[in-house]
Amino acid sequence: MFASCGFDYSDSVYAKYIEINIQAWQRYEKGEITVQELQIMRFSSLFDVLGVSYDVADFNARYLYELGSGAFLVEGALEICREIVSCGKKIYIITNGLVGTQEARAKHSPLHEYITGVFVSQAVGHQKPDKEYFEHVLKHIPADKDNMLIIGDSLTADIAGGNNAGIDTCWLNSHATKNLTAIKPVYEIIHLQELQKFI
């Protein structure tokens, strides 16, 4: 895929893409850009850095197809999902992203049988951390907020969103990053296995 687009894949290219992608999603979370603009911006910015001239829309379409065809699990995800469901609790996915990609990823994931529902920001019409996004989610989940826990790796989307909605949060801080923001989770874990104490 990469060679035909005029550049070779490398760790440095991936690192630059991650940096640009994170910045683009943060702008989306703030409502500064649309999800359509995000898709084009992240690759046009990357291609500018690499000095590559290629059809960004075409590359994005190919990227989304490849992304939707695979599922990449965080260590311990399958085991903790099994345990949560065995305790009679339900699991929902709340995600900022594109409907086609996220639904395809969920379908291909080994976690599929443990997931009760998926709420994708593009379909909802609002994104995390917007309060409106969580209001929509809460209307479709038959449970009280006091019995919910949002688990996420993004302070600005997951944790801030949960705080805005009045739902307890757990920050999956896999890289043990220091929290330099004013956003405070109720719980913080490094490994998913630590969720056992909250089940």
- Model-level pTM? 0.75
Q: Are strands 91-95 and 115-120 parallel, antiparallel or unpaired?
A: parallel
CATH of domain 77-198: 3.40.50.1000
Count of CB atoms within 10 A of residue 6's CB?
A: 12
- In a 13 Å sphere around the CA of 61, the CA atoms on its Cβ side amount to 5
Torsion, CA 56, CA 64, CA 157, CA 43, rounded to 10:
-20
Helices (H), 11-74: 11-29, 35-50, 56-68
Domain positions in the chain are 3-68, 77-198
Per-residue pLDDT tens digits of the chain, which is 199 residues long: 555 566 677 888 889 998 999 899 889 888 898 888 988 999 999 999 888 888 888 888 888 777 766 667 788 999 999 999 999 999 999 998 788 877 777 777 889 899 999 999 889 999 899 999 999 999 999 888 999 999 999 999 999 999 999 999 999 999 999 999 999 999 999 999 999 887 7
CATH of domain 3-68: 1.10.150
